Amino acid sequence: MALKHDVADELEAYANLLEMDGVEYKPNVYRRAVESLREYPGSLEALAEDGEDALQALDDVGDAISAKIVEYHETGVIEELEAMRERYPVDLDALLRVEGVGPKTIGTLYEELGVTDLDELEAAAEDERIQDVKGFGAKTESNILEAIPFARQAGERELLGEARPVAERVRAFVSEHDAVESAAVAGSTRRWRATIGDVDVLAASDDGQAVVDAFAAWEPADAVIEAGEQKASVRFDGMRIDLRVVVPGEFGSALQYFTGSKDHNVTLRNYAIEQGVKLNEYGAFDVSDVDDADDGQRVGERIGGDTEESMYAALDLPLVPPELREGRGEVQAAIDDALPDLLVEADVRGDLHNHTEASDGANSVREMVEGAKAFGHEYVAITDHATGPGVVGGMGVPDDELLDLADEVEAVNDDVDGITAFSGVEANVDDDGSISVDDDVLAELDVVVASPHSSLDQPGDAATERLCTAMEHPSVDVLGHPTGRLLNQREGLDVDANRLADVAVREGVALEVNANPSRLDLSGSAVKAAVDAGATISINTDSHRPETYGNVTYGVHTARRGWAEPDDVLNAYDEDALREFLH
């Protein structure tokens, strides 16, 4: 497997172990290096071959870290890391998935109670041993206990942001094979679900065995799980990847079947039966003249299956976009000719939630604005964190400096042609719904994003109330990452999406679809509630560096999962319409 993945994972583990050990400052130095490694587009092998100096050309990689990368490249281990692992023999990955539990907590619970994995953590909490440890209380203990089932289940699914690039890579590899006519990503990855159980790829070929053999020999794979004549599964970077090969004439029906979801397919198949049509992975068959339609897979007259369109056309239906195939009324909408005219990425004109080095971002205002322009945006808002609870390590901008920052944004706006830069802030929504920034300051800014960052374990009613109160503030334009969820890490606020949508309409506030692949917040189903109620959404990347403007793709597809059309999306508006909304 690629050195980059391996070494980034190892250094991240090292950062966590250092933090467990009570080391200050250094863990974050390692984490910054990990981020830089993961974003480096080139081959890390090539740099490592050239030695430590070459590696130090990477951002945030200094002497100690470059030496560890070379050590790992040459020997396959980092001695200091292995020593730390011996000292703390805990299942860090699993324990870190428990909401509210970080490396420091894990370190303490290991020292005090010998907790090394989820089962032992659960037992300690059930026996009420955690509340006796200094610095812990009964409340923390019960929070931990409640969060364990989610942590257990979260370990089994991968973020879309990790799985999707891998799926594309496998698809490209497979489609290069001489015997392959076409290849496609299927399953939940094609539906752009926020998390992925396993990656499904489909290929059309008359020589299944040759294609399966090539896939089983795919060099980056960590292991082959199984390999048959028509399908194989491999493991890569903690993910399972399934490849199925079908004959070209059945590619469309197989693609339709293996894209799912199961709910969509069941609904579609039942409708088909009413029309005298049988659907399966081998095709669409007219069985109206057949005595026993269950007598084999390929019965009656075949009326579709070479393309996916032909499967829907066999029922006189238009193709249902994969993001809609979740059994949320899309089959009925297709029958009624009422499918939405979905938003596409090209409709998006700007990004309304971004950070600079004034708070926790990595770049200057100018770099973020020029980056947005290079990305193709017509406008961008600079919305650094205000100070407040839940904001990383005092990184927020105090009220009086927000106005200076706004002046800087205005100066950059005057100076850089071809894009409009809006001033703004990401203010905190406090527990009671109040906004953490002074009203007079908020009134001066172009874009006010208000987001919850703390108390993300409030009960649903209080959480809904809190967010609705925040939207009633006259200066708030966008409710940022409304639930505060972090996929596979914390569930976030359990809000009533319908009520949120109604208040958003009434108050003229846009609900964010935060496009960071760790958030995708609102989720697709919450977007659907918003759009159904007539609310406006805003798809923002929450970028802390220009390289992540491209995450907008994940936001767009999440919005599509919520049936969003261009008119539903604030940052698909032209600048005049946007300004009107902001006023």
Footprint of Ca ion (CB under 5 A): 187-188, 197-198, 200, 242
How far is C-alpha 398 from the geometric centre of its chain's CA atoms?
A: 30
User: Should residue 542 be labelled a site residue for Zn ion when binding is judged by CB under 5 A?
Assistant: yes
Q: Which residue is nearest to ligand DGT (CB)?
A: 260
| Residue 260 binding ligand DGT, by CB under 6 A | yes
Nearer to Ca ion, 225 or 303 (CB): 225
Find out whether 516 and 488 touch, Cβ atoms under 8 Å. Answer: no
262 binding ligand DGT? (CB under 6 A): yes
With CB under 6 A as the contact rule, the residue among 10, 19, 122, 198 that binds ligand DGT is: 198
Q: Which of 16, 108, 116, 188 binds ligand DGT (CB under 6 A)?
A: 188
Comparing CB distances to ligand DGT, the nearer of 202 and 386 is 202
Cis preceding linkage at 261, omega within 30: yes
Identified binder of ligand DGT from the candidate list 215, 236, 258, 549, rule CB under 6 A: 258
Instruction: Enter the tokens of residue 165.
Output: 């690039």
Among 141, 426, 457, 521, binds Zn ion (CB under 5 A): 426
Q: Is 1 within 8 Å of 222 (Cβ atoms)?
A: yes
CA distances from 39 to 59, 467, 538, 547 (A): 10, 34, 26, 8
**Which is nearer to Zn ion, 205 or 383 (by Cβ)?**
383
Q: Which does 330 bind (CB under 5 to 8 A by kind): Ca ion, ligand DGT, Zn ion, none?
A: none
- The residues in 326-345 that bind ligand DGT, with binding defined as CB under 6 A, are none
255: left (phi over 0), alpha (psi -120 to 50) or beta: alpha
Distance of closest approach, residue 485 Cβ to ligand DGT, in angstroms: 18
Q: Do residues 345 and 553 touch, judged by C-beta distance below 8 A?
A: yes
The site for Zn ion, by CB under 5 A, has a size of: 2
Q: 171 or 490, CB closer to Zn ion?
A: 490
Of 120, 226, 114, 236, residue with least CA distance to 169: 236
Q: CA dihedral in degrees (248, 252, 253, 255; nearest 10)?
A: 100
Q: Which does 542 bind (CB under 5 to 8 A by kind): Zn ion, Ca ion, ligand DGT, none?
A: Zn ion
User: Cα–Cα distance between 33 and 8 in angstroms, integer?
Assistant: 8
Residue 340 main-chain phi, psi, to 5 deg: -70, 155
For every residue of 435-485, DSSP letters joined together read BSS-HHHHHH-SEEEEE--S-TT--HHHHHHHHHHHHHSTT--EE-STT--
Q: Which alpha helices (DSSP H) does 322-380 contain, by range?
A: 330-335, 365-375
Assess 187 for contact with ligand DGT (CB under 6 A). Answer: yes
What are the C-alpha distances in Å from 424 to residues 305, 371, 413, 553, 566?
Answer: 52, 17, 13, 23, 24
- Residue 208: name its binding partner from Zn ion, ligand DGT, Ca ion, none (Cβ under 5 to 8 Å by kind): none
Asked if 384 touches Zn ion (CB under 5 A), the answer is no
> Nearest to Zn ion by Cβ — which residue?
542
Candidates 19-27, 482-490, 503-511, 535-543 — which segment interacts with Zn ion by CB under 5 A?
Answer: 535-543
Q: Is residue 323 at the binding interface for Zn ion, with CB under 5 A as the rule?
A: no
Least separation in angstroms between CB 517 and ligand DGT: 15
* CB closer to ligand DGT out of 188 and 458: 188
Question: Which residues in this chain contact ligand DGT in the complex, by CB under 6 A?
Answer: 187-188, 193, 196-198, 200, 257-258, 260-262, 265-266
Question: Which residues in this chain contact Zn ion in the complex, by CB under 5 A?
Answer: 426, 542
